[in-house]
Structures are given as structure tokens and as C-alpha cells.
Amino acid sequence: MRTLTRIEAAPSSIAPPGSPSRPDLAPAAVRRADWRFLLPDPALGRVAYVGPHQPALVRALSALSDHLELRPPPGTLHDVVVVTRPTGSRQLAAGKLVAPGGWVYLETTGLRAGGAIAQLRGSGLVELAAWWLWPEASACLQMIPLANPAALGAALGRRQPGSPPGPRAWAAQALARCGALRPLLASVALVGRRPEGDA
């Protein structure tokens, strides 16, 4: 059985990976942040992490970012803002922390993704996209774009080794086309960008 170690008294910021106080981490340790490849530039730069802090994600972000803020002060701007287990207030905070041209990465459930997309759009973010994190965000093996029913069908078809895409893949494509698949998914990632020149 896997256990999750909770960080009780995390520092408000973590030194970048090249500093003498922070040893570089092994590639397996940064897999928790593989979602960075959903962004146009996987170099994260200055990062704010809003929400309950997951230790594996904190380790990955500290290794990959130039600077990581775990308790970002209001009014500071970041290249990437990460939100896990979002609430309305966390999403609102994320929208205010992302710099013009910067990105928000948010992990939620499929059931809550629609409301989160609407709130991110309402905070001025553009280029919003949703991805299914399979099998789950903390152990993601595939990131499947929810706007592409064919990709969903192909991904589900591969879950049946040795057989061509069958009824399960066709059903997923049909559910995706009518918007009924997303609420059934356990882990969904949303990304959105603050437009350049937006204050």
C-alpha cells in the first residue's frame, strides 16, 4: 500500500536546483511534473504552487523551476501557477498570480472541470485546454486531450491489449463528442494562459 507523507511546515520558498542547499534530483523524481510538456515551453521559470502541497509535486517543482513559492505573497507574478485540489478561492488566487504570457496548470476531477474552466476563463485566461491524466495525476502514464474524441478512443482502445479498438473505444468517442465522458474521469488537467500585455 502506498502512503503519502504530508508536509506540515513547508518553507515559503525553495532554492533552485543548482544552489548548494538543494541537490539535483533523479529523473524519476521529476516525473510528477511531466505535465510541463503540455506548455509551449517546458522550462517552468518562476513558479507558484497554490493549494494543499503534494510532496512529490513539491520535489519535482523545486528541481525544475528557477524559483518555487509555496506561499506566494499577493501581488507577486509568476511564469507558471500550479493548483491542486482547487477551490473557488484557490482558482481566483491562481488567476491573480500568473504573469502576462504565463500559464496556470490546474488538477481537478472530470466532474469539476467544467466549473474550473469557466472560472479560469472568467479570470481572463485564454487558450484553455483539458487533458485526461491516466490513470491518475500522481502516477500519470498518459495525457490525453479531451477535445479530441479520436485520441480518447485510441487511448481506450489500447487498454485492451492485442485487440483492435472495439466497443469501449467507440463508446468513449461517442461520450466525448456529446460531452458526457469528462465527468466520469478521476484526474483532469487544465491549462490556460494569461494574454501578453494583460495587467
Q: How confident is the model at residue 6 (pLDDT cuts 50, 70, 90)?
A: very low
For range 65-78, the mean pLDDT: 94
Q: Which amino acid is at 121?
A: R
> How high is the pLDDT of residue 131?
94
- Indicate the pTM of the whole model: 0.79
Q: How confident is the model at residue 11 (pLDDT cuts 50, 70, 90)?
A: very low
Q: How confident is the model at residue 183 (pLDDT cuts 50, 70, 90)?
A: confident
> How high is the pLDDT of residue 12?
46
Q: What distance lies between CA 77 and its chain's CA centroid?
A: 18
For range 186-196, the mean pLDDT: 94
Residue 3 has pLDDT above 50, yes or no: no
Residue 26 has pLDDT above 90, yes or no: no
What is the overall mean pLDDT for the chain? 81
Lowest mean pLDDT among 54-68, 153-167, 181-195: 153-167
Q: Would you list the DSSP string of the chain?
A: ----PPPSS--SEE--TTSTTSPPPPGGGGGGGGGGGGSS-----EEEEESSPPHHHHHHHHHHSSEEESSPPTT--EEEEEEES--HHHHHHHHHHEEEEEEEEEEE-HHHHHHHHHHHHHTT-EEEEEEEEES-GGG-SEEEETT-HHHHHHHHHTTSTTS-S-HHHHHHHHHHHTT-SGGG-S-EEEEEEPPTT--
> How high is the pLDDT of residue 18?
44
* From the candidate CATH numbers 3.40.50.150, 3.40.50.970, 3.30.2010.30, 3.20.20.70, the one assigned to the domain spanning 13-149+182-193: 3.40.50.150
* Cell, residue 114: 467544467
